[in-house]
Structure 1
Amino acid sequence: MTHSRLNSRIRASQLPIAVLLGTNEIASAVAVSLTGLGYAVILCHDPFPPVMRRAMSFHDALFDDRAVVDGVAGKHAETPSEIAAVFSTPGQVVVTSLHLTDIIALHPIKILVDARMQKHRVTPDFRGIADVTIGLGPQFTVDINCDIAVETRPAKNGTVVRSGRTDAPDGVARALGGVGAERFVYSDRDGRWHTALEIGTRIFKGVVLGHLDGQPVPASLDGVLRGLVRDSTLVPAGVKLLEIDPRGANAKWTGTDERGRDIAKATLTAIRLRALRPAIKDVGAGVYYI
């Protein structure tokens, strides 16, 4: 199918396009909400940081595995015809390795949300690529590299930022079952990660959960695997390999969580706020409103 035919298929369905950068649980929670509002949603994979909470996200659809979040299904698509096929069925989102530039060439974008959660990397200016560009988390400054932003730091999670910049990361992990950073295991080196375990597995402190660059990686505490980087993933040093939920019978590792839903709700609020505010852009010697 040509790009023009894809354009026609999407226009015929009257679905506005929303692109999410990232396939993690935050991007997926936002994707679920946007799908509920009638957007055709495309999630673009970025390898950094590796996705850990895979059962709470659409990430595994990238490998043609089942990926369902709160009743919405993620489907892998890499070509115009595959993307059109996904959108022909309600309640589905596209998960792709295509780059943003590839998507722009296919169809105009209504909403662009950077949900990659790249806390320490410089973020490019995405303004003008879509009608509304939204940054989630650190490294965003309104009217510099996004139109509007949303805080993701625990103390301000879900706060819409209409001017200025989002908070820098503070390195403090949100407590879960009374446990903070101790529930995460980080990579101590670059290497290939291997594990035979599945998310949702009951594990115990000291048990080897996988190997990074051939070195064993033990569990930091008792609990249930809430997050686990996919087997055979190449990871850099200093990223989260896994997360352990210490809450016992109350452990949860599938579907959206409260944090993700709050961020998704704030993202929808940001879209509405931006729609109510005329944006002024320079055009030669004059200005125009959009």
Structure 2
Amino acid sequence: MIVIKGAGDLATGVATRLKKCGFDIVMTEISQPTTVRRTVAFSQAVFDKKVVVEGITSVLASDKREINKIIENGNIAVVIDEKAKIIDEIKPKIIIDAIIAKKNLGTKINDAKIVIALGPGFTAGVDCHCVIETKRGHYLGKPIYKGSAIANTGVPGEIGGFSKERIIRATADGKIDPVSKIGDYVKKGDIVAYVNETPIFAQIDGIVRGMLQKNINVFKGMKSGDIDPRCERNHCFTISDKARSIGGGVLEAILHLSNFKF
């Protein structure tokens, strides 16, 4: 069994790849997930109870008994557990920190036989056994067994020639009220959402690939969605190239480390 901390779109890319390879998966989430790519994230099970992504089903669980039943039925269990206390109950041999917080929120190298972490904020050999590179580019998905991932630049990766412009950011503190849905085509200057009564405008033409759930609390400047200038609508409902690459890196790391750990 593997516990994945976090159930956002990148964590979901990892989970689907591992599930298809025969691993049993439990994912932890917070009570109000802020995943923008909700159509391809198992974190949405917190709101919808059950989510299917590319043929893999995740189901919300409340305790160990429900987790076991969900796994016995061939599905992925998602549990609301911000501190990942379920780890102490089920004692998995493999833990993956896929929170993507750009810092370590409490993962330790001795939490399991194999501990893998995604992105910056971790050092392989110190607080985990392997770090997976998450920055778009030449090294995306690379397992790192000594050292750290590339430091967070704060600049979103470029897609279709756009970087910062493609991100939908909250224009005020408050609750978000989307106008556009994931999969909608928008033009630069269109209102895509409101925070209270403050509009959020699209900065580029494209398709809305991500948007926060209605009534999620946001703060000014917070990432609340994204627009894809490539305008491939099916991309909104399928796992991204980035998530697939990271998932492949995690699978490689598990198999590599298993040669030494078990």
- Relative to the length of structure 2, the TM-score reads 0.91
Is 1:149 the counterpart of 2:131? The answer is yes
> Aligned residues: percent identity?
27
SS class of match (2:85): helix
Q: Is the 8 A contact 1:23 1:46 kept in 2?
A: no
Question: Match of 1:228?
Answer: 211
User: Within 2, Cα distance between the matches of 1:236 and 1:270?
Assistant: 36
Out of 12, 21, 46, the position equivalent to 1:37 is 21
Q: What CA distance in whole angstroms lies between the structure 1 residues aligned with 2:224 and 2:84?
A: 29
What one-letter code is carried by the residue in structure 2 that aligns with 1:157? L
Q: How does 1:60-139 map to 2 (within 5 A)?
A: 60-64=44-48, 66-90=50-74, 92-119=75-102, 121-139=103-121
Which consecutive aligned stretches of 4+ in structure 1 deviate over 6 angstroms post-superposition?
A: none
Offset of 1:207 from its aligned partner? 1.9
For structure 2, the 5+ residue unaligned runs are none
SS in 2 for 1:149: strand
- Which amino acid counterpart does residue 48 of structure 2 have in structure 1? D
Q: One-letter code of the match for 2:126?
A: I
Paired residues for 1:160-179 under 5 Å: 160-179=143-162
* Displacement after TM superposition at 1:84 (Å): 2.2
Give the gaps of 5 or more residues in structure 1.
Answer: 1-16, 279-289
- Counterpart CA distance in 2 for 1:66 and 1:48 is 16
- Kept after mapping to 2: 8 A contact 1:60/1:67: yes
Partner of 1:54: 38
Deviates further, 32-41 or 144-153: 32-41
SS of equivalent to 1:271: helix
Q: What is the root-mean-square deviation of aligned Cα atoms in Å? A: 2.1
- 1:71 corresponds to which letter in structure 2? G
Cα deviation digits, residues 202-228 of structure 1 (max 9, x gap) = 222222222124311122222211000
Corresponding residue for residue 281 of structure 1: none
Contact kept in structure 1, 2:109 and 2:129, CA below 8 Å: yes
- Deviation at residue 138 of structure 1 after TM alignment: 0.7
Q: Secondary structure at the match of 2:34?
A: coil
1:189 to partner: Cα distance? 3.9
In the alignment, which of 231, 238, 248 is matched to residue 265 of structure 1? 248
For 2:28, the aligned partner's letter is C
Q: 1:159 to 1:49 in 2, by over 3 A?
A: farther
Deviations 1:70-119 (A, max 9, x none): 210111111233212211212x2112212454312331112111111112
Q: Bigger shift: 144-153 or 229-238? A: 229-238
TM score, norm. by length of structure 1: 0.83
Deviations 1:233-266 (A, max 9, x none): 1123433111111123466111212111110000
Cα distance 1:47–1:157, how it changes in 2: closer, same or farther (>3 A)? farther
Q: How far apart, in 2, do the equivalents of 1:45 and 1:250 lie? A: 27
Shift of 1:67: 1.9
Determine if contact 1:151/1:167 at 8 Å carries over to the other structure.
yes
Deviations 1:160-180 (A, max 9, x none): 111012211123322222222
1:76 partner SS: strand
Q: Considering only CA atoms, is the larger Rg found in Structure 1 or Structure 2?
A: 1
- Aligned twin of 2:3: 19
2:225 maps to: 242
